[in-house]
C-alpha cells in the first residue's frame, strides 16, 4: 500500500478508495432489489408491469444530470424524502452515501437487464417440478432458480459495479465533488483536468480506472465459468 | 380414491370431465390434444381450471365453488413429467433426495436404498443429469417423485419422449411401482400398449369429454372406442401361464384355450394380460389345417363395424375373452361374417409383441 500511496498523491488515493467504497455499497444495496425486479419482470404478470419496466430503465435513458437533479430535489435536505430521513439522522446530500445512492440508481437498470435475461433462461418447468416435490415458492427460488441464474447474477453485479465506478453526471450534480467526501474517481479526473499541471494526476487515475475495470471483468469471467461448471452445462 | 370434476376452456374446445380413479393405475387414454395433460396438471395444482373440484381420499385439493385451492407443494403428488425435468445443477442423488426435505415427518416413505435398487440407478448417483441418457433420466425422475413421499403418482406421458427400446426399458418400472410399491397412479397415455400393460382402470378422453370408463379389458375390447386410432386397436386377453416349452415358447391357458407366445419371464401359474393387435388376427370360417400359426381361437361374431373405408372391425366372443379382428369389408362379406356367425381367430405367435404382454 505504501508504494501505491507514494505513486498516487493523497488526494488521488482518497478518490480511488472512495470510489471503491461507493461502488461496493451501491452494488451491494442494489443487488437484492435488482434480483427482485428482474424476477418480477421475467416471471410475473401484473398490472403496471410496463410502468415498472419503464421506471427501472429510466436512469439508463435520462441524461445523468437530470437524474442527479431529481435526486437532489427528492433526497436533498429540503426534499420530501431527504427531509424526513434527516429527522432520523440519515443524510444523503453532499455525503459519500449520496454518491452511493446515485451510483446505485444509475447501475440498477444494467443489473436488472443482465439478471432478467438469466431468469428468462431458467425453464419455469423446473420450478413447477420443484413445487410438485413439496418445495414452497421461496425455497424453489433459493434452491432452484438462484443457483441456476448465478452466472447472470455475477455478470450483472460486475456490470453494475463498473457502472458505479464510472458514474459521473448524476453524482456530481447530486453530491458535488468534495475531496475526501464525494470526490469519486471520475470527478477527481475531471477536477484535475480543470487545473493547470493536473494532467499527470489525471493520467494516473485513468490507469487505475482501467486496471480496476479489467480486474473486475477478469474476476467475473472466472466466477461465471465456475458457476456454469457447477450447473453442469445443460 | 381420487375424484375429479373439471370444466376448463381450452383453445378450440371445452374440457368437461368427471371420473373417479380407484386404487391401482388409472390411465387417462386419448389422442393428443384431448385435454389429458390439462386434467393431470389441474390435479397437481399446476393449472387452475375455470371450474371444478378434486378430492383425494376424502381430502379436498381444490373446489372452485368454495374458493378452496391447495398450492402444488402442499398436495404431495409425485409428478413424473414427459421430459424428466431433473434439476441440472444437482447430482442424481441430490435430485432424488430433493422431495425428502419437504415431506412431512410422519409420511409413509420409501427409503433411498429401496428406490435406487428398484430402479437400478445405483451407478448414477454421483452424476449430473446432463450426462444421463433419456431412459436413465426418466428412471431418476420416477425415483425422485417416489421419494417425495407422495400420496399418488401422476405420470404425464412419461415414455413419449423415448425411443422404442427405452420405452421397453422403462415400462416395467411402472409395473413394479404398481405391483411392489402399490402406490395409486394417474397415468396419461395415448398408447394402447401402455394401457394394456399398466391400467387397472381406463378413462378414455375424446374432445375434452370422458367417452368411456372401465377396466382395460372392457375398454380395449370395445370396437366403438378406439382413441389411439384403428391401427392401434386390439383386445386384451387375460390368461394364466401354463408351462414353458423347451423350444422357446410359453404356453398360456386363456379360458381353456391354449395360447402360445415367445417365451416370457413369468413363473407358471402367474396371471398375464396379452394384447392381441386387431390387424394381426386372421379369421376363418373352418378350423384351418396345415397352418403355421399356432393360436386358433374358436368364437362367435358379436358384431361387425364398418366405416367409410375398406376395413371392417369384427368383434368376436371367444372362451379366452373378446378378440378384435381387423379385416377388409370384402372378406367380411365373402365369409358371411355377421352377428352370431361361428368362426376361428388365428393369431401368429410371433405377432404377439413383448410390449403387449404384462403382468395380471
Q: What is the pLDDT of residues B187-196, one digit of tens each?
A: 999 988 899 8
| One domain for residues B217 and B258 | no
**Residues B14 and B141 grouped into a single domain:** yes
Mutate to test the interface with B, among A126, A127, A133 (most CBs of B within 10 A): A133
pLDDT band at A232 (very low <50, low <70, confident <90, very high): low
Q: Is the pLDDT of residue B234 over 60?
A: yes
pLDDT beyond 70 at B10? yes
The maximal CA–CA distance of chain A, rounded, in angstroms, is 69
Q: How far is CA B48 from CA B21, B153, B186, in A?
A: 20, 19, 18
pLDDT band (50, 70, 90) for residue B227 = confident
Best of B69, B73, B144 to disrupt the A interface (most A CBs within 10 Å) is B73
Q: Which of B166, B191, B223 is at the close of a domain?
A: B223
Q: Return the number of other C-beta atoms located less than 10 Å from residue A162's C-beta.
A: 20
Does residue B144 carry a pLDDT above 80? Answer: yes
Nearest neighbour of A126 by CB, restricted to B87, B102, B144: B87
Taking CA A61 as the corner, what is the angle to CA A40 and CA A163, rounded to the nearest 5 degrees? 80
Looking at beta carbons, which residues of chain A come within 8 Å of B82?
none
Sign of CA dihedral B189, B195, B199, B203: positive
Nearest CA in chain A to B132: A234
Q: Which of B26-30, B58-62, B78-82, B349-353 has the lowest mean pLDDT?
A: B349-353
Q: Tell me, what's the pLDDT at B129?
A: 93
Q: What is the pLDDT of residue A5?
A: 47
Structure confidence at residue B165 (pLDDT): 83
**Percentages helix, strand, coil for chain B, rounded to the nearest 5?**
30, 35, 35
pLDDT for residue B360: 61
Distances (CA, A) of B182 to A84, B9, B50, B176: 65, 34, 33, 8
Distance from CA of B46 to the nearest CA of A (A): 7
Model confidence over B292-339: pLDDT tens digits? 999 999 999 999 988 888 889 999 999 999 999 999 999 999 999 999
Q: Would you tell me the crossing angle of helices A185-194 and A199-230 to the nearest 10 degrees?
A: 160
* B175, B271: one domain: no
Q: Is the pLDDT of residue B71 over 70?
A: yes
Q: Mean of the pLDDT values across residues A224-228?
A: 80
Residue in chain A closest to B141 (alpha carbons) equals: A129
Do B337 and B296 lie in one domain? The reply is: yes
When pLDDT is cut at 50, 70 and 90, the band that residue A221 belongs to is confident
Number of C-beta neighbours around residue A181 at 10 A: 15
B158 in contact with chain A, both atoms CB, cutoff 8 A = no
Question: Does A172 score more than 90 pLDDT?
Answer: yes
Indicate whether B42 belongs to any domain.
yes
Q: Which residues is B297 bridged to in the sheet?
A: B345
In this prediction, residue B109 has a pLDDT band, given cuts at 50, 70 and 90, of: confident
Cα–Cα distance for residue pair A76/A133, rounded to 1 Å = 50
pLDDT tens-digit map of A88-122 = 888 888 899 999 999 999 999 999 999 999 999 99
> Which residues are CB-contacts of A74 (< 8 A; sequence separation ≥ 6)?
A80, A81, A82
Strand partners, B13: B10
> What is the rounded average pLDDT for all residues in chain A?
90
Test B89 with A133 for CB contact under 8 angstroms: no
Report percent pLDDT > 90 for chain A: 72
Residue A20 to residue A13: CA distance in whole angstroms: 11
Distance of CA B327 to the CA centre of its chain: 26
To the nearest whole Å, the CA of B21 is away from the closest chain A CA by 20
Is the Cβ of A197 closer than 8 Å to some Cβ of chain B? no
- Joined grid coordinates for residue B215: 377396466
Query: d(Cα B89, Cα B294) in Å, to the nearest integer?
Result: 54
**A41-58 per-position pLDDT tens digit:** 999 999 999 999 999 999
Mean pLDDT over the full length of chain B: 90
d(C-alpha B110, C-alpha B147), whole Å? 6
Residue B64 lies in a domain: yes
Lowest mean pLDDT across A80-84, A192-196, B152-156, B222-226: B222-226
Same-domain check for residues B213 and B327: no
Tell me whether strands B25-29 and B185-189 are parallel, antiparallel or unpaired. parallel
> Are B271 and B327 contained in the same domain?
yes
**Minimum distance, in Å, between the CA of residue A107 and any CA atom of chain B:** 29
Is the pLDDT reported for residue B279 higher than 50? yes
Q: For residue A83, what pLDDT is reported?
A: 86
Mean pLDDT throughout A76-98?
88
Q: Find which of A122, A129, A130, A139 to mutate to test the B interface (most B CBs within 10 Å of its CB).
A: A129
Q: What pLDDT is recorded for position A25?
A: 97
Domain boundary among B192, B223, B254: B223
pLDDT at B135 over 50: yes
Q: Is B87 on the interface with A (CB under 8 A)?
A: yes
Q: Establish if B229 belongs to a structural domain.
A: no
Q: Is the pLDDT of residue A233 over 60?
A: no
Query: Can you give the pLDDT at residue A1?
Result: 45
| Helix locations, chain B, DSSP H | 36-44, 92-97, 112-119, 134-146, 164-176, 192-198, 216-220, 329-334
Burial (0-12, 13-18, 19+ Cβ within 10 Å), B113: exposed
B140: left (phi over 0), alpha (psi -120 to 50) or beta: alpha
Give pLDDT, residue A223.
84
Contact call for B128 and A232, based on CB within 8 A: yes
Across the interface, whether the CB atoms of B72 and A136 are under 8 A apart is answered: no
Residue identified by cell 435406487 is B116
Confidence at residue B12, expressed as pLDDT on a 0 to 100 scale: 84
ipTM value: 0.83
Is the CA virtual torsion B176, B177, B181, B186 positive or negative?
negative
Q: Are residues B166 and B136 in the same domain?
A: yes
Check: CB of residue B259 under 8 Å from CB of residue B291.
no
B241 and B182 in a common domain? no
pLDDT single digits (tens) B155-214: 999 998 888 888 888 898 898 889 888 899 999 999 888 998 899 999 999 989 999 999
Please indicate if any CB of chain A lies within 8 Å of the CB of B76. yes
**Same structural domain, B218 and B323:** no
B-chain residues near A129 (CB < 8 A):
79, 81, 85, 87
| Surface of B (14-73) touching A: CB under 8 A | 44-46, 71-73
Taking the C-alpha atoms of A59, A63, A67 and A73 in order, what is their torsion angle to the nearest 10 degrees? Answer: -150
Say whether pTM exceeds 0.90: no
What is the domain count for chain B? 2
Query: pLDDT-derived band of residue B108, with 50, 70 and 90 as boundaries?
Result: confident
Same domain, B113 and B218: yes
Note the pLDDT of residue B80: 95
Question: Nearest by CB to A131, which of B73, B78, B145?
Answer: B73
What dotted CATH number matches A8-229?
Answer: 1.10.3720.10
CATH number at residue B43: 3.40.50.300
- At residue B21 the predicted structure's pLDDT band, cuts being 50, 70 and 90, is very high
CA of B161 vs chain A CAs: smallest distance (Å): 16
Q: Which residue, of B196, B223, B250, is where some domain finishes?
A: B223
Residue A195: CB atoms within 10 Å: 10
| Local confidence band at A2 (pLDDT 50, 70, 90 cut-offs) | very low
Per-residue model confidence (pLDDT) at position A234: 40
B149 — phi, psi (to 5°)? 55, 55
Domain extent, residue B21, equals 2-223
Provide mean pLDDT across the span B212-217: 90
pLDDT of residue A6: 60
Amino acid at each position: 500500500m505504501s508504494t501505491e500511496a507514494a505513486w498516487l498523491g493523497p488526494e488521488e488515493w482518497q478518490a480511488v478508495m472512495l470510489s471503491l467504497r461507493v461502488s461496493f455499497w451501491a452494488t451491494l444495496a442494489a443487488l437484492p432489489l435488482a434480483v427482485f425486479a428482474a424476477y418480477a419482470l421475467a416471471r410475473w404478470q401484473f398490472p403496471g408491469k410496463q410502468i415498472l419496466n419503464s421506471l427501472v430503465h429510466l436512469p439508463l435513458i435520462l441524461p445523468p444530470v437530470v437524474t442527479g437533479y431529481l435526486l437532489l430535489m427528492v433526497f436533498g435536505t429540503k426534499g420530501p424524502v431527504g427531509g424526513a430521513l434527516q429527522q432520523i439522522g440519515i443524510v444523503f446530500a453532499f455525503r459519500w452515501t449520496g454518491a452511493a445512492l446515485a451510483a446505485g440508481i444509475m447501475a440498477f437498470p444494467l443489473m436488472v437487464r443482465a439478471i432478467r435475461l438469466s431468469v428468462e433462461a431458467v425453464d419455469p418447468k423446473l420450478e413447477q417440478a420443484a413445487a410438485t416435490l413439496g418445495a414452497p415458492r421461496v425455497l424453489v427460488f433459493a434452491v432452484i432458480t438462484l443457483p441456476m441464474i448465478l452466472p447472470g447474477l455475477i455478470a450483472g453485479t460486475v456490470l453494475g459495479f463498473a457502472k458505479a465506478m464510472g458514474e459521473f453526471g448524476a453524482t456530481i450534480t447530486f453530491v458535488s465533488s468534495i475531496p475526501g467526501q464525494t470526490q469519486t474517481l471520475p470527478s477527481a479526473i475531471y477536477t484535475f483536468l480543470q487545473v493547470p499541471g493536473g494532467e499527470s494526476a489525471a493520467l494516473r487515475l485513468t490507469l487505475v480506472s482501467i486496471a480496476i475495470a479489467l480486474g473486475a471483468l477478469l474476476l467475473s469471467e472466472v466466477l461465471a465459468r465456475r458457476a456454469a461448471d457447477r450447473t453442469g452445462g445443460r | 380414491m381420487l375424484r375429479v370434476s373439471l370444466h376448463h376452456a381450452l383453445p378450440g374446445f371445452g374440457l368437461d370431465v368427471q371420473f373417479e380413479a380407484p386404487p391401482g393405475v388409472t390411465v387417462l387414454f386419448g389422442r393428443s390434444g384431448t385435454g389429458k395433460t390439462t386434467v393431470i396438471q389441474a390435479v397437481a395444482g399446476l393449472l387452475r381450471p375455470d371450474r371444478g373440484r378434486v378430492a383425494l381420499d376424502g381430502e379436498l385439493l381444490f373446489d372452485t365453488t368454495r374458493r378452496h385451492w391447495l398450492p402444488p407443494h402442499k398436495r404431495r403428488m409425485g409428478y413424473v413429467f414427459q421430459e424428466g425435468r431433473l434439476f441440472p445443477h444437482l447430482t442424481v442423488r441430490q435430485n432424488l433426495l430433493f422431495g425428502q426435505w419437504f415431506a412431512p415427518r410422519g409420511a409413509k416413505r420409501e427409503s433411498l436404498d429401496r428406490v435406487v435398487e428398484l430402479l437400478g440407478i445405483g451407478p448414477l448417483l454421483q452424476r449430473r443429469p446432463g450426462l444421463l441418457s433419456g431412459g436413465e433420466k426418466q428412471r431418476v425422475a420416477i425415483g425422485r417423485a417416489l421419494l417425495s413421499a407422495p400420496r399418488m403418482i401422476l405420470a404425464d406421458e412419461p415414455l413419449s419422449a423415448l425411443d422404442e427400446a427405452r420405452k421397453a426399458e422403462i415400462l416395467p418400472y411402472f409395473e413394479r411401482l404398481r405391483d411392489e410399491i402399490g402406490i395409486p397412479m394417474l397415468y396419461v397415455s395415448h398408447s394402447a400398449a401402455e394401457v394394456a400393460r399398466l391400467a387397472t382402470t381406463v378413462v378414455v378422453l375424446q374432445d375434452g369429454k370422458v367417452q368411456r370408463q372401465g377396466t382395460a379389458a372392457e375398454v380395449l375390447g370395445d370396437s366403438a372406442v378406439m382413441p389411439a386410432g384403428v391401427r392401434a386397436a386390439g383386445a386384451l386377453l387375460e390368461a394364466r401361464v401354463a408351462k414353458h416349452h423347451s423350444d422357446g415358447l410359453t404356453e398360456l391357458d386363456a379360458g381353456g384355450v391354449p395360447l402360445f407366445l415367445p417365451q416370457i419371464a413369468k413363473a407358471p401359474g402367474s396371471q398375464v394380460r396379452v394384447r392381441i393387435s386387431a390387424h394381426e388376427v386372421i379369421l376363418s370360417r373352418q378350423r384351418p389345417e396345415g397352418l403355421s400359426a399356432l393360436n386358433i381361437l374358436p368364437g362367435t361374431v358379436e358384431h361387425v363395424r364398418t366405416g367409410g373405408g375398406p376395413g371392417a372391425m369384427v368383434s368376436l366372443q371367444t372362451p379366452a375373452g373378446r378378440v378384435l379382428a381387423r379385416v377388409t369389408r370384402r372378406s367380411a362379406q365373402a365369409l358371411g361374417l355377421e352377428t352370431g356367425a361361428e368362426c376361428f381367430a388365428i393369431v401368429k405367435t410371433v405377432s404377439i409383441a413383448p410390449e403387449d404382454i404384462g403382468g395380471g
